[in-house]
Amino acid sequence: MNPLEEFPLIQVLNEEGQLVGDRSQISDDQLTEFLRWFTVLRTLDQRAWNLQRQGRIGTYPPFSGQEATQVGVAAALSPEDWLCGSYRDWAALIYRGVPLFYPLLSSMGHPAAGYLPDAVQALPVQVVIAAQILHAVGLAWAAKLQGQARVAVSLFGDGATSQGDFHEALNLASVMSAPTVFVCQNNRWAISVPIERQMHSQTVAQRAVAYNIEGLRVDGNDILAVYQTMKRVVERVRAGQGPVLVEAVTYRLGAHTTADDPTRYRPRDLDERLRQGEPLARLRRYLLAHGIVSDEEVAQMEEEAKALVDEAVRQAEAFPPSPPESVFDHVYGELTPQLREQRAEMARRVSSGEPGGGRRG
């Protein structure tokens, strides 16, 4: 078996922004709206990087380059479906309905970022690598047991496929026919480790064979391919035809986090080549070339995005600070006696300004 032939890359819009496939399921208005979202998300991501460098937020994981996968996945879901993402999947959550300031609040370390709006069917972002994949299977299995027509989708990176949780999740979903869609954002690097040093498989998608589920590969920088593929996959899974593994081949434009320097491990020529097909530029080229949007409309989108992000920064920085002792409040439903004592002691030290009490804000 040649995995590259067995799992061909699904593509509708190529790297140059030329249509090479069928886009009959998506209108000009939808594509324009996707470009508007890409513009807002890219503006937010770049501002977050700058805010971290200014010391206004903590460590931040940029998602630039992966917008097509995240937006395409979120757009294909119904409101009742579950979305389980990692710390890099804020673009999907924002498209799903999470306010724009949440990623900033999260990087400030504020616990309120863990409380997503009730109307958004999604779990808080997961920092533990691959843990959300198991959570998605649990949600999907529960929905099946309750007779609900719900699908659970998990987003994760290629590095997560090296974890046992990934394999356990696929096995359990397969055995239980849990309505789960596993979406691997193969951005080619697990921090500084390239994909070829993580696995000897030619594709992530072929790993589906071991669990007797369907596996697909899609161009993760092509919003048309991701959205249309995910629409088909989600409805197939919703109809009870079993879980699916989707490998979205993409590229992380920036660093792993603001604590990383990708120039130390990514060859410059490779980086320059892979940047050519990034999602925002690709979609913009297509829409401009076909007169679906104008240069003036693109400029207006950029101005509107800047205003929205300015407001998001203002909201995040104006958020009421959380007292240091609140670290005890978000783990157990009821604190143990020892933790109650520790919380009271920290609160006393904070109020008296003693060493070890931390500071508010």
In whole angstroms, what is the distance from residue 233 CA to residue 241 CA? 10
The token pair that represents 180 in the structure block: 């789960």
DSSP state letter for 154: E
CA distances from 128 to 18, 88, 141, 146, 168 (A): 38, 12, 21, 28, 15
164 contacts 131 by C-beta, under 8 angstroms: no
Q: Per DSSP, which regions of the chain are E strands? A: 9-10, 82-84, 152-157, 180-186, 189-190, 193-194, 214-219, 244-249
Active centre residues (catalytic): 252, 256, 265
How large is the greatest C-alpha to C-alpha distance in the chain, in angstroms? Answer: 69
Residue 155 Rama label (left phi>0; alpha psi -120 to 50; beta): beta
204 contacts 156 by C-beta, under 8 angstroms: no
